[in-house]
Amino acid sequence: MDELRGWFGDKVATWDRLRVYRIEHALPILTSETSSQSGQLVGDGVFVCGDYLEDPSINGALVSGRKAAESVLTRRGGQHT
């Protein structure tokens, strides 16, 4: 509740917790092998990306997507920053 209080203020003290779900193995396992694959060409114009290749998070998905996009641009001879 402390984290929620930081977001929503003291009104969270009146909230009731309905349920808590603990999901084991909810995130992909990150290995050094998969973490080096973002943006790699794996087929005819097919590049890989996804959070499971960086870190299991929204940020990991964005980083991986950017690496794939940069790989596409590099392969096509385009400029990127």
Q: DSSP code of 56?
A: S
Per-residue burial over 63-79, b = 16 or more CB atoms within 10 Å of its CB, e = otherwise: bbbebbebbeeeeeeee
Q: Is residue 51 over pLDDT 70?
A: yes
Q: How confident is the model at residue 32 (pLDDT cuts 50, 70, 90)?
A: low
Over the stretch 33-42, which tens digit does the pLDDT of each residue have? Answer: 655 677 777 7
Helix runs in the chain, H state only: 2-8, 32-35, 58-76
For residue 27, give both structure tokens: 């995130």
Q: What is the pLDDT of residue 79?
A: 63
Mean pLDDT calculated for residue range 2-24: 91
What is the pTM (predicted TM-score) of this model? 0.55
In whole angstroms, give the CA distance from residue 36 to residue 34: 5
Q: What is the pLDDT of residue 11?
A: 94
